[in-house]
């Protein structure tokens, strides 16, 4: 079974590469394409790749994910997150390829105080979230055979993410302030990648939108403290309000996702974020000796 992975040089794409190189997908034939090797914003380029090869699945890891830059670079964020998603959906439809697309908790405004369900109304409060939601709609409107997986606070030993930023700052500073009034769930990219492989190996036709994150709830302050504690970094960590650390893009205050649908549909047991963080930190240590 041949599988295309777009955005292969990014965090999640690199995680899939590590899984494959580690022998966790021996019965699957993966083709990895970085953004420079396959530009999903180019319809003809996508068509050539998909139609000329017999791909059973396309895992779309290509995305404009810099939340703050999206506020300034509207055109590029829209091209990648909306036009790119539409190009993949239309060509997957022609080539009979199942599309697995990664989306985000940022499609919600964060005004609820209970975990978000897949059917809750999407009300993005920033340009990044808006483009990701429009990308979802572009897929739904052009391709029946799709899985859209909304995730949150993705991190790993690869790419740019909160865990790696905290480890870098922890090595450079004696004190650090992190916001405590934004609540969600950290998600280890390896856990998400394994869920995608689980769906593929199950040959599931339960298409649709799903939420996936690790179990548990945390603020960014809680997440940072767990990183420093587990990695034995002695730092004076201070909790602050979002208003004390203004950013170009507004963040959802509450973005915990209800995962009942994906757990019940695929029989999953999801690790708690603190347990997965320990695994991620060990993996980070191995490649940063």
Task: Tell me the catalytic residues.
Answer: 128
The CA distance from 192 to 259, in Å, is: 12
Residue 173, sorted as left (phi over 0), alpha (psi -120 to 50) or beta, turns out to be beta
Apex CA 213: angle with CA 209 and CA 217, to 5°? 130
Q: Are 187 and 211 in contact (CB under 8 A)?
A: no
Q: Are 144 and 92 in contact (CB under 8 A)?
A: no
Tell the burial category of 71 from Cβ atoms under 10 Å away from its Cβ (0-12, 13-18, 19+): middle
SS3 195: helix
Q: Are 131 and 82 in contact (CB under 8 A)?
A: yes
The CA distance from 228 to 237, in Å, is: 9
Sign of CA pseudo-dihedral 95, 96, 102, 105? positive
Q: Are 196 and 59 in contact (CB under 8 A)?
A: yes
Strands (DSSP E) found in 7-145: 29-33, 57-60, 98-104
């Amino acid at each position: 079974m041949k599988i295309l992975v777009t955005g292969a040089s990014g965090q999640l794409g690199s995680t899939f590469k590590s899984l494959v190189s580690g022998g966790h997908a021996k019965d699957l034939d993966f083709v990895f394409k970085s953004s420079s090797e396959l530009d999903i914003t180019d319809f003809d380029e996508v068509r050539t790749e998909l139609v000329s090869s017999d791909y059973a699945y396309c895992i779309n890891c290509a995305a404009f994910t810099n939340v703050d830059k999206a506020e300034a670079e509207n055109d590029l964020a829209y091209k990648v997150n909306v036009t790119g998603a539409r190009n993949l959906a239309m060509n997957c439809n022609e080539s009979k390829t199942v599309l697995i697309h990664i989306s985000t908790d940022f499609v919600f405004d964060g005004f609820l105080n209970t975990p978000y369900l897949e059917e809750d109304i999407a009300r993005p409060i920033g340009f990044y979230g808006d483009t990701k939601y429009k990308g979802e709609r572009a897929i739904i409107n052009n391709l029946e055979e799709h899985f859209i997986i909304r995730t949150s606070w993705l991190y790993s030993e690869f790419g740019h993410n909160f865990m790696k930023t905290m480890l870098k700052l922890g090595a450079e500073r004696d004190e650090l302030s992190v916001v405590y009034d934004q609540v969600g769930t950290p998600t280890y990219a390896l856990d998400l990648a394994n869920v995608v492989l689980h769906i593929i190996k199950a040959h599931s036709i339960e298409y649709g939108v799903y939420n996936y994150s690790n179990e548990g709830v945390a603020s960014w302050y809680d997440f940072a403290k767990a990183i420093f504690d587990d990695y034995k970094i002695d730092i004076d960590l201070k909790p602050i309000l979002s208003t004390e650390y203004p950013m170009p893009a507004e963040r959802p205050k509450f973005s915990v996702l209800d995962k009942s649908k994906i757990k019940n549909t695929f029989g999953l047991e999801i690790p708690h974020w603190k347990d997965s963080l320990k695994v991620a930190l060990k993996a980070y240590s191995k490649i940063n000796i």
